[in-house]
Amino acid sequence: MKKLVALLLCLIVVCPVFAKNDTDKNEFSITYGQITVPQAAYVLGGVFGSMFSLGHFSFENAHFIGGAGVEYVHYVNDWLGFGGAVLCDYMTATAMNVDSEGKKTPNGKFTLGIVSAMPEVKFAWLNREHVGLYSKLAAGAGFTFTNQSEDTKDNFAFAFQATPIGMDFGGESFRGFAELGLGMQGLVNVGIRWLF
């Protein structure tokens, strides 16, 4: 994984240097997404945790903030851009023990967070004055932090985002956007974008 991250970082640095860019276009975005990979992992962990404990353990009162972050892209030509995203996703829940009679007793607070840094490549399919369509791929590393046992906390994990379709709309300098994808930015990702 370290080699993949190093290769992507090199591409981000080297490709813009050698590419001709008559437009010198950049984007800075503030993003927010839901149904992220950490959220899905949490839900599956709760399901399997309950299943493997034969119903004697569960999570309740889960709160997800979603994947919030910033993103920068520099276009090397009219349709290809390189950049990166930094994101944070955080969730909390109450861990519950369930006895044989079904009575639940709290077993402490469960927290899980991940901070991700991902180099990315972006493909612009349509560039119009007030609307654009694009796809993007990103891969990098995420640092997870949790209050669970020592063997599961504070680890690095693979982080990614695959967005087959995204659309931005608005003016020449500021636009809103919406994306459908899979990964750290979520199944649905929205935000605002500054083009300069």
Q: What is the CATH number of the domain that holds 151?
A: 2.40.160.20
Answer with the residue of higher pLDDT: 157 or 82: 82
Q: What φ, ψ does residue 93 adopt, rounded to 5°?
A: -160, 165
At 163, the pLDDT band (50, 70, 90 cuts) reads very high
Q: Report d(CA 63, CA 70) in Å as an integer.
A: 22
Percentage of the residues of the chain whose pLDDT score is greater than 70: 77
Bridge partner residues of 75 (DSSP): 81
According to the model, what pLDDT value does residue 96 have?
78
At 17, the pLDDT band (50, 70, 90 cuts) reads very low
Is pTM beyond 0.75? Reply is yes
Tell whether the model's pLDDT for residue 26 goes beyond 80: yes
Q: In the chain, how many domains are there?
A: 1
Mean of the per-residue pLDDT values for the chain? Answer: 83
Residue 189's domain spans which residues? 2-195
Tell whether the model's pLDDT for residue 79 goes beyond 80: yes
pLDDT in tens, 109-134: 878 889 999 999 999 999 888 999 99
